[in-house]
Amino acid sequence: MSFTRSLIKKCLVSKNKKYVVFILTALTLSLPLLSSEIFYIDFLLVLFMYATIAVGWNIIGGYTGYVSFGHVAFFGLGAYTTAILLVRFGLSPFVTCILGGVVAIVFALLIGIPTLKLKGAYFAIATLGLGFVLQLLFLNLGSLTGGGEGLSLPLPPWDIKTSVEIFYYAMFIVFLASVLTTYWLEHSRFGLALKCIRDDELSAETSGIPTAKLKTMAFLLSAFFPAVSGGLFSYYATYIDPITVFDPKISMYAIVFSMLGGSGSVLGPVIGSIILYSVAQTARYLITAPGVDVMVFSAIAVAVIIYLPEGIVGFLKGRSGAK
Amino acid sequence: MSLLKVINCWKLFGGLKALQNVNFEADQGILGIIGPNGAGKTTLFNVITGVYKPDKGKVFLKNRDITGLSPHTIRRLGISRTFQIPRPFINETVFENVLAAGFFGRVDKVSKKELIEETEKILEFVGLIDKRDEEASSLNIHQRKLLEIARGLITKPILLLVDEIASGLTPAEVDNVVSLIKKVNEKGIGVIWIEHVMRAIMKAAERIIVLDYGKIISEGSPEKVAKDPLVIRAYLGEEIA
Ligand SMILES: Nc1ncnc2c1ncn2[C@@H]1O[C@H](COP(=O)(O)OP(=O)(O)OP(=O)(O)O)[C@@H](O)[C@H]1O
Ligand SMILES: [Mg+2]
């Protein structure tokens, strides 16, 4: 146990991290060449998607300490922006997924200005409704969104294998961009300011940190990546409806993935996503009763809060105890 | 020259008058503020630093009206403070605690390299350089109070507001912080110092203001204030000096 721990520790927290990340990236990029099984590629693609949402969530929830329960709102908004622009205007999703990110940023700005004034639990409750509100809105804007019947997107012009590979790489790029952004954050003044806000907002403000402005910027950044991944998802899935893309489960995944891996760290949400998404998928194959994954998740969430408050990364860095 | 002017300041919390028509000036020396628990001392600091807006009245820093500005702006204009109960950035290192304030609380343009050097100098000055890379959570109360001062100094303030730095410390630690604050003042930084530990404040301050129920009830040299019957009554037999 202690050997494994020190080995993982060597990989994660020392200078070797760079090489580990490099090797993993190389492996990921070459996977479609190594395996012809669409199943595995699809599995990883969706994993990247959830990981991207978790990494995005981590910027506001982990680094800044404002736990959002509504991040699915940004994902869904991105999905719909891209879908609508394709269906109604024929614009390429690989470009418009970025626009979806911009729409999410604008939405986050409108939502963030009032809600980020709220502290802790109140912010969490305020964001809880976001996904539901948008779900209702999109259900009822029939002419634009297709309402409850959803939107069918044109099929991508490639054979299935090529198509899965293209989306795999696209999703990986978005995922990588989100991780690199967090890496930059971890080493920037901006990131340090966010951590100070998380630790003690009053102290941060009186130390000269413009807390209102930086919190809002963090929220916008954290909305962007989930929305972009949502845009790619809509084209990949070729069909979306409000129930699927505003599913509150997606918000919950982001929170639990991040917390298990270690929120407020670069790799925490990534590690959490890899472990928990694999567990969830396996559970779904083994036990077919509906809702099993949600139960497994809730149990894991409770266990993490009690036993691993700093997540796996925190545990490996020797910060296992509650403070 | 007077650095800070507080003019006719009122602060109400519901029906509670935390500050009632407070007027005073502070210059480059050490100004002590004493008064019983709940007298409004910390509230006064919160009003000066922009944490609370006064319900009435004005605050001037070097003749500039700073009433109602945000705390981070007031910090950048040159007022630093320490908290009665230290409020470090608990998960960051001692170095990062000070550096963060340096990054954001300064108006002068310094390179990152210079700032790092200055941060180290200040940690040296307050005696925390050995703890440079430790998380603030590992510090004891004395060290946390030193960190508050270090974080205050990195922005090169005109004025340092110190809130009960000596409380909860051993006599040796009290002597340490008293001499530290005197050294800060000798650098030309004005100090306003709230203190319950009379032994500390009576020795260090040139002038003392006594607050009671949000009002200034006495003002003057430590000797004068200590003999004032109003002050003695406010403390109801608590020993002064
Ligand atoms: N945010 C607030 N809301 C309501 N009442 C407050 C608030 N802050 C302070 N008070 C009240 O205002 C009064 C003055 O409080 P303050 O903290 O300024 O006292 P103090 O002189 O610093 O006391 P101490 O010596 O105990 O630190 C107290 O009665 C306190 O309960
Ligand atoms: Mg007080």
Tell me: the pLDDT tens digits for A137-178? Answer: 888 887 777 777 788 888 888 888 888 888 899 999 999 999
Per-residue pLDDT at A33 = 67
Residues B123 and B186 both lie in one domain: no
Q: What integer pLDDT is reported at residue A322 of this predicted model?
A: 39
The CATH number covering residue B69 comes to 3.40.50.300
3-state secondary structure chain B: CCCEEEEEEEEEECCEEEEEEEEEEECCCEEEEECCCCCCHHHHHHHHCCCCCCCEEEEEECCEECCCCCHHHHHHHCEEECCCCCCCCCCCEHHHHHHHHHHHHCCCCCCHHHHHHHHHHHHHHHCCHHHCCCEHHHCCHHHHHHHHHHHHHCCCCCEEEEECCCCCCCHHHHHHHHHHHHHHHHCCCEEEEECCCHHHHHHHCCEEEEEECCEEEEEECHHHHHHCHHHHHHHCCCCCC
Domain co-membership, B72 together with B112? no
Q: What is the pLDDT of residue A280?
A: 80
**pLDDT of B146:** 97
What's the domain range around B197?
1-78+158-241
Q: Do residues B241 and B166 share a domain?
A: yes
Q: Tell me the DSSP string of A238-249.
A: SEE-HHHHT-HH
State the nearest Cα–Cα gap between A237 and chain B, in angstroms: 42
Please determine, for the modelled complex, whether the ipTM score is greater than 0.90. yes
Residues of chain A with C-beta less than 8 angstroms from the C-beta of B76: 208
Taken in order A160, A164, A166, A170, the sign of the CA dihedral is: positive
A17 confidence band (pLDDT: 50, 70, 90): low
Same domain, B73 and B90: no
What is the number of domains present in chain B?
Answer: 2
Asked whether residue B174 falls in the same domain as residue B219, the answer is yes
Cβ(B155) to ligand 1 under 6 A? no
Of A189, A206, A208, the CB nearest to B51: A206
Every domain of chain A and the residues it spans: 36-247
- Does residue B126 have its Cβ closer than 6 Å to ligand 1? no
Cβ neighbours, 10 Å, residue A184: 12
Chain B contact for A142 (CB, 8 A cutoff) = no
Chain B residues with CB-CB distance to A323 below 8 A:
90-91, 137
Distance CA B68, CA B59 (A): 9
Query: Chain A partners of B137 at a C-beta cutoff of 8 Å?
Result: 323
pLDDT per residue as tens digits for the range A92-118: 888 888 999 999 999 999 999 888 888
Does A318 score more than 70 pLDDT?
Answer: no
Average model confidence (pLDDT) across chain A: 85
**Shortest CA distance to A264 belongs to which of A295, A224, A218, A207?**
A218
* pLDDT of A14 above 60: no
pLDDT band at A323 (very low <50, low <70, confident <90, very high): very low
Q: What is the pLDDT of residues A272-283, one digit of tens each?
A: 999 888 888 887
How far away, in angstroms, is A186 Cα from ligand 1 center?
37
Identify the pLDDT of residue A118.
Answer: 87
Q: Do B136 and B170 fall into the same domain?
A: no
Domain boundary residue, one of B156, B186, B206: B156
Q: How far separated are the first and last CA of chain B, in Å rounded?
A: 29
Residue B170 sits in the same domain as residue B72: yes
B126 and B237 in a single domain? The answer is: no
Task: Please indicate whether residue B84, judged by its CB atom, sits closer than 6 Å to ligand 1.
Answer: yes
Whether residue B120 sits in one domain with residue B64? no
Ligand 1 contact via B11 beta carbon (within 6 Å): no
- Above pLDDT 90, what percent of chain A? 41
Q: What average pLDDT score do residues A241-268 get?
A: 90
Element (H, E) at A11: helix A2-13
What is the model's pTM?
0.90
pLDDT at A269: 93
B16 lines ligand 1 (CB under 6 A): yes
| In a shared domain, residues B97 and B107 | yes
Residue B100 and residue A196: Cβ atoms within 8 Å?
yes
CA A218 to chain centroid, in Å, comes to: 14
Q: Is B46 in the pocket of ligand 1 (CB under 6 A)?
A: no
**B72 with A210: Cβ contact below 8 A:** yes
**Which has more confidence, B122 or A311?**
B122
**Which ligand 1 atom lies nearest to the CA of residue B46?**
18
pLDDT in tens, A24-57: 777 777 676 666 677 788 888 999 999 999 999 9
Question: What would the pLDDT profile of A184-215 be if each residue is shown by its tens digit?
Answer: 999 999 999 999 999 999 999 999 999 999 99
Using the predicted structure, report yes or no on whether residue A23 has a pLDDT greater than 90: no
Q: How far is B167 from chain A (nearest CA, A)?
A: 20
Query: Could you tell me if A203 lies within 8 Å of chain B, comparing CB atoms?
Result: yes
- Whose tokens are 């190594």? That residue is A34
Domain-terminating residue out of B141, B156, B171: B156
Residues B226 and B164 in one domain: yes
pLDDT per residue of chain B (241 residues) written in tens, 0 to 9:
789 999 999 999 998 999 999 999 999 999 999 999 999 999 999 999 999 999 999 999 998 999 999 999 999 999 999 999 999 999 999 999 999 999 999 988 899 999 999 999 999 999 999 999 999 999 999 999 999 999 999 999 999 999 999 999 999 999 999 999 999 999 999 999 999 888 889 889 999 999 999 999 999 998 898 888 888 888 765 555 4
Nearest Cα of chain A lies from the Cα of B139 at a distance, in angstroms, of 13
Which protein residue has the closest C-alpha to ligand 1 atom 29? B38
Same-domain pairing of B17 and B52: yes
Boundary (domain end) residue, out of B131, B156, B181? B156
Yes or no, beta carbons of B105 and A209 under 8 Å apart? yes
